[in-house]
Structure 1
């Protein structure tokens, strides 16, 4: 058997590189060229558009019910941040089509200012990934991926929903492709008065000044300029407005927040039998304006611009050995206005990463990676990763992941006046994970214990001068496990699909030996889908354990455990029309993910989905 034939069979067995077979290339193009390789060694939980429609309010709700991530939300639709495995929002990387899009100012992503329906698939990866996805990928990463198909002709779809609190969600998509050209456009718009009421122990809460709206547009295209060469382009435009809820009616000032984000990416992909190269140039822009009085002038604001060059070269030395070199260079610019006191700043950053993969047999694979970041005026550590996966027997797989990861200080951490600290060191972490997967008939069980040690955590603390300042202080140790149980069975016109997840997290500030704030010890999610012919019914639930809201484990200020359950039914007519009805929070539970900001009690929605 010659080398080329061995290569094609090997790649086909692993399903790893989209360039391996021309038939695959003709079918789909994924903008994140690393994703197929990452899936060889790491578990990526994928959320499709169909699953996203079950939690269509916003991305926060989707992640809350369909992932192990804890979501801290200041009221429905307001400021929202994630927590993977006992880490912070700054230690979670948001990755858009392979590009890290965490804010240069805050070092994190605001979930409710990221569109829910702008992507073909949302991926959830627990555990560190800084060697490939850069700063912030310490606790985990959230992947917002788009794809393009070829030779599929015209397709269009419309999703329209009306929900409680005068909420409207609308999404329209259109695509066309032939053998050489693929084009796709989509737009979404969400608006809500969001004035829900919550009654608890004789107290009435109304989400006053909680209205929001946002609009998102995506445009993507790919063209095969030759049999092995392809040019691709994707752009996203987001415009959002949030009014921040108040607690005391007219006694508290009403405020609001506007944001505009732009992301654009051009890629040239060259695919051969033994090697591939993906060269990307990207531009991302974030703008925000804060109004201390909704009827007054802008109080503060900032504009950030990022210029990115990235090259991903992949080469098979032999059918067993593969080398991957990734180089990236960025220019990050920021300008603060009003009370956003960071001035006019610019920072250059670059990195070089190398990964070596070894496939001794079809049941065994290894990957070792090393990376060096070069961040202007910051001393960055050398990062590493090691992963292995072994299909021990037909019913049991085991995977090992060890890595060193980091987060560079954000613009606010360094330059905010007063309080910024130019002497900050990057946060670094060491993480270990042992993933076990069992398969028995239609059942799949995954159990993954993990351990993480974070050093030089950046915190804002009171300084001697009376204001808050940024310091490298905490050492955090986090350990626990994540588990999933899946079942799927189809008999005739009956299909049953279930998915249950449980996570336990012990995340300790080693200086004071206390659990970190907003890190629940226990989280459980579950979903049961049943379909008979043209009717689908689903039930989903989420349990969240005791969650402390301060660093001293004060029980009186902690969030009590809660269980929330949703249900819905869809019916499809004439193959193209689907009508659905949902009930959220069936049990009318009063629950909080952030102190003082309850989320809605029982609420409803109806939707129409048309697809051609």
Structure 2
């Protein structure tokens, strides 16, 4: 998309404003219907699968109250979820110690994990299209297939509704940041449409005033931290007959961004990394899905969808911080394309009092292509070209049933196959069994156990330097026990303990630097949360997550795994005043995480506390909203990875109009 089109979009949004002038404890009332055609669902109306699992649901209102502008912002307060920014500057979403590549990331059922390394960039999903975020951190449905060893993040977008409605948002912030969004919702009795276009343009992120300048970073604005992105999204669903619903989803994104370099490189400091001057100078992607649901009889429903997801990246490594030369050893240009194509059929049988039975069959092709050049040790640019792909097949059967109105159970099994372009194929199985018991109103006890599998990524199989075509699938044994209790004073309490035994983990051999299945990790801990609404119009949420992450590999010299904090405390309050103002504040405290050098020496990362606030004033019978917010209110100078300082205080304000 051209710069002129970018400018036209921003101008259009600005003119529009001027002319217009979890688990259940985390769920809120939705104001816009959800587009659920592409979502994995179970057959029983009681939905026992979600009752036995640890599921946090965030909706559009919650995101709006908190001033969330990107998906990673939405997830920072979820128990068990840790949002971190590492050496590549891209936000990573870890769940209970598992890395981003172990989290299954879905948009209306479309997998958005990279076919190359299995990771994902949450910034590619614009927050304005989200109606619900479902985060499963424990044992989840086997109907999702393979890949969710760490958890599942399922983004459910907004859906059209009869009439014509919309909203326009314009926002400005520090470092010449600007944000614009336009959303339209419309439809008739049988046809519903939702469309959105948005633009984020940021010259960089501010560093804390407490940051001590170094030779590589003089403070003020973080070098090479700019970010630009344009998103266009639409979905359409048509009620073809009383029993048949058909839907189409399309998402397009384009942009570019910098990857800030380390600020404290010192060859005498074993914990620092050498500077890398990296940029994604062009990012362009699209995803689409065609889905249907047909109610064959009163008891049987057939659902299916086909999808295509593509992302093109031009990444460059430069010689120095001028980002203009690629003539020395290590410099490169990479033009990569990842493509995911697949489809699924799901049969749901409602057995009424006997429960529900679901059968899911899916297939998926992951393709990766990369071409460019790399400068060798003789300072000569050498061209290269790679192309690899793998196929995956999944079949799963899941049964759930409510037992006497006070209990319920779910049991499921899946079989998964990875068909590789070279090397041996791999197959594996998964299962889930869970039970909940509600002895009295307001009390729920739950327990679940699951076996999950994840196949190696194309990078782990075929990377020129570290690939191993003989890798086995990673598998994880999950054990979880929890209680939810309603307390006096409109208070809800929840406590969940978990053990995740991860075997055949894929990591590089320290000597050969070749990927192998030699690692065994153990993640165990608990999460406790309180929610209180004793005072009218005031919502209070408090959570504490405790995580022990152990490396139990036979040849390991370390104990606690690096960059996985042991302690996280989050607090959030939302107050709706009598004069139509909403005040929101949140606190996040992170402590006890470590990093290691090549000799397994340990370094503790300093603890940090972040405070965000936002005020929103509704005017003109709530048609117009004015808001102002501050992230990192007290200008904390902190790091999540050694030598990579995070943003300091950031102030923003905007206007939103509904019509």
Tell me the TM-score normalised to structure 1 length: 0.89
Q: Which structure is richer in relative contact order (CA contacts within 8 A, separation 6 or more)?
A: 2
Q: Distance in 1 between matches of 2:63 and 2:228?
A: 19
1:73 lines up with 2:97 in the alignment: no
- Is the CA contact (8 Å cut-off) linking 2:398 and 2:413 kept in structure 1? yes
Q: Summarize deviations over 1:25-55 as a string: whole Å, max 9, x none.
A: x976413433574434334222223332424
Q: Tell me the equivalent position of 2:641.
A: 594
Structure 1 counterpart of 2:316? 291
Match of 2:589 among 530, 533, 543: 543
Q: Select 2:192's aligned residue among 182, 193, 211.
A: 182
SS in 2 for 1:436: strand
CA contact (8 A) 1:30 1:147 kept: no
Distance in 2 (alpha carbons) for counterparts of 1:378 and 1:385: 24
Contact 1:232–1:267 under 8 Å retained in 2: yes
Q: Does 1:137 align with 2:152?
A: no
Q: In structure 2, do the counterparts of structure 1 residues 66 and 161 end up closer, same or farther at CA, with 3 Å as the change threshold?
A: farther
Alpha-carbon distance in 2 for matches of 1:249, 1:503? 31
Partner of 1:61: 73
Judge which range, 552-561 or 530-539, deviates more: 552-561
For these two proteins, the number of residue pairs brought into alignment is 581
Determine whether 1:31 maps to 2:37: yes
Match of 1:483 in 2: 528
- 2:547 is aligned with 1:505: yes
Moved more, 115-124 or 139-148: 115-124
Two-structure CA RMSD over aligned residues (Å): 2.6
Kept in 1, the 8 Å contact 2:132–2:155? The answer is: yes
Write the distance in 2 (CA, Å) between the matches of 1:455 and 1:253: 33
Aligned-partner SS, 2:240: strand
In terms of mean alpha carbon deviation, does 311-320 or 293-302 score higher? 293-302
Identify the residue that residue 261 of structure 1 maps to in structure 2: 285
Tell me, in whole angstroms, the C-alpha distance in 2 between the residues paired with 1:497 and 1:337: 52
Q: Is the 8 A contact 2:505 2:519 kept in 1?
A: yes
Shift of 1:459: 0.7
Equivalent residue number for residue 18 of structure 2 = none
Q: TM-score, normalised by structure 2?
A: 0.83
Aligned mates of 2:264, 2:441 — CA distance in 1: 62
How far did residue 180 of structure 1 move? Answer: 0.4
In 2 relative to 1, CA 552–526 (structure 1 residues): closer, same or farther, beyond 3 Å?
farther
Match of 2:413 in 1: 370
1:114-136 per-residue CA deviation (whole Å, 9 max, x = no partner) reads 43333222222112437222333
**In 1: Cα distance, 2:70 partner to 2:603 partner:** 27
Alignment of 1:537-576 (within 5 A): 537-550=583-596, 557-574=603-620, 575-576=622-623
Q: 1:456 aligns with which of 480, 504, 507?
A: 504
Q: 2:343 — aligned with what?
A: 309
Tell me the residue number matched to 1:124.
135
User: Residue 34 of structure 1: SS of its match in structure 2?
Assistant: coil
Q: Which residue number corresponds to residue 240 of structure 1?
A: 255
SS at 2:76 equivalent? helix
SS in 2 for 1:145: strand
Query: Are positions 1:82 and 2:105 aligned together?
Result: no
**Is the contact made by 2:158 and 2:194 (CA closer than 8 Å) also made in structure 1?**
no
Which residues of structure 1 form unaligned runs of 5+? Answer: 1-14, 16-23
CA distance in 2, matches of 1:573, 1:490: 24
Alpha carbons of structure 1 residues 158 and 330: separation in structure 2 relative to 1, 3 Å = same
Alpha-carbon contact 2:429-2:453 (below 8 Å) kept: no
CA contact (8 A) 1:342 1:415 kept: no
Consecutive unaligned residues in structure 2, runs of 5 or more: 1-23, 25-29, 266-273, 327-331, 375-383
Equivalent-residue separation in structure 1 for 2:253 and 2:99 (angstroms): 25
Separation of aligned partners in 1, 2:289 and 2:371: 28
Q: Structure 1 residue 253: deviation in Å? A: 6.5
